[in-house]
Amino acid sequence: MAKIRIHELAKELNMNSKDLADRLRQMGYSVKNHR
């Protein structure tokens, strides 16, 4: 699967990056963050 940056996808979907990352984790995706 291709890697995509959460903030880029969130911007396209008009969502908050944190909310999108939380939703992706709930769906079973591995989400990494630099912090």
Residues 6+ positions from 2 with CB-CB distance below 8 Å: none
CA distance 15 to 9: 8
* pLDDT at residue 2 is higher than 80: no
**Residue in this structure with the two tokens 């989400």, named with its chain if needed:** 31
- What pLDDT, in 10s, does the model give residues 18-34? 999 999 999 999 988 76
- What pLDDT, in 10s, does the model give residues 6-15? 999 999 999 9
What's the confidence (pLDDT) of residue 27?
A: 97
Q: How confident is the model at residue 4 (pLDDT cuts 50, 70, 90)?
A: confident
